[in-house]
Amino acid sequence: MAPIISIKNLSKTYATGFQALKTVDLDIEKGEIFALLGPNGAGKTTLISIVCGIVTPSTGTVTVDGHDIQSDFRAARAMIGLVPQELTTDHFESVWSTVSFSRGLFGRRRDDAFVEKTLRDLSLWDKRDSKILTLSGGMKRRVLIAKALAHEPRVLFLDEPTAGVDVELRRDMWAMVRSLRETGVTVILTTHYIEEAEEMADRIGVISKGELILVQEKAELMTKLGRKELTLSLQEPLSEIPASLNGRLALANDGHELVYAYDGHGDDTGIPRLLADLSAAGVNFKDLRTKQSSLEEIFVGLVSERK
Ligand SMILES: Nc1ncnc2c1ncn2[C@@H]1O[C@H](COP(=O)(O)OP(=O)(O)OP(=O)(O)O)[C@@H](O)[C@H]1O
């Protein structure tokens, strides 16, 4: 099956001379949930802004269901719903009129029943006559989603959908994404939360400094991301690791700490066996802490693995 979005040789250098994207190639399959994972400034918004026709690429092409986003912009854009990070217009409009207006913008015929269903699904029905200005931040986010869905797009982009939203909205948003997928809608979300990519995505692309450094099925990538470290603060410093524990641990902090790295997503972390072996070797500790690899460390690990 042809991909719903095909990105080839895409790069972007802004007028400042800053290169925000470096030769990105990516195909998104119809009906998948794809998470673009990367730290702030990695180029996520730039990438989706190009696909949505908001930013012009410096090189490369993008097609949406076969429509070129530059030469066939209207057809390409009509396929897409975009939920941006912030609402910038429409403050004085009511919820109902801003959402139904968005539908009209894409040439869709008026369909009050569809707009009503969208508002109800997003718990906005009671607010349909309220001016956007008077809504809470969470409600404004819901309006952004309703606007993006108003013209029944086949592809939905969510830019940092849960940054700063409350638990309830996050849960609603995830449920909405899953139900959209059931109707064949393709969802692409950007995030810098590993947990969000893990919860939502079928496939994850890791972007760092404008480069798509890895694209992988979630299950595979989470195994890589799941590395954790257990640090034990010892009661007495050690000059060397006891023979029975060698190979599993590293000494740190001048022998005051032992560090054990393990797969945080595996069923068998090896920790119970490790603690039993430490006790048998007469090594006592006074404190312990665990640490998840940070995104930065993961990126460094992923990039060096590819070399
Ligand atoms: N119009 C612009 N002119 C110059 N530089 C820009 C412009 N827009 C973005 N940038 C720069 O491009 C880089 C990538 O920005 P982008 O917004 O795509 O990142 P991001 O991964 O979406 O990050 P965030 O999560 O912070 O939005 C950043 O360093 C940003 O400062």
Instruction: List pLDDT tens digits, range 191-250.
Output: 888 778 878 899 999 898 899 988 988 877 776 666 788 999 999 999 999 888 878 888
Neighbours of 33 (CB within 10 A): 23
Second-level CATH architecture of 5-223? 3-Layer(aba) Sandwich (3.40)
Report how far residue 305's alpha carbon sits from residue 302's, in angstroms, rounded to the nearest whole number: 5
The residue among 200, 102, 115 whose CA lies nearest residue 148 is 102
pLDDT tops 50 at residue 307: no
Look at the domain 226-306 and name its fold.
Alpha-Beta Plaits (3.30.70)
What's the pLDDT at 91?
Answer: 80
- CA–CA distance from 4 to each of 47, 76, 179, 184, 188 (Å)? 16, 10, 19, 11, 11
What's the pLDDT at 269?
Answer: 87
Instruction: List pLDDT tens digits, range 96-153.
Output: 999 999 998 888 899 999 999 999 988 999 999 999 999 988 889 899 999 999 999 9
Of ligand 1's atoms, which has the minimum distance to the CA of residue 45?
22
What's the pLDDT at 284?
Answer: 94
The residue among 90, 14, 86, 97 whose CA lies nearest residue 50 is 14
- For residue 225, the Cα-to-chain-centroid distance in whole angstroms is 14
Give 105 Cα–ligand 1 centroid separation in angstroms.
27
Give 201 Cα–ligand 1 centroid separation in angstroms.
23
Domain with CATH 3.40.50.300 in the chain: 5-223
Over residues 6-10, the mean pLDDT reads: 97
Max Cα distance, the chain (Å): 77
Domain with CATH 3.30.70 in the chain: 226-306
| ipTM of the predicted assembly exceeds 0.90 | yes
Query: Among 12, 24, 37, 44, which residue has the most ligand 1 atoms within 8 Å of its CB, making it the best to mutate?
Result: 44
Decide whether any atom of ligand 1 lies within 6 Å of the 38 Cβ: yes
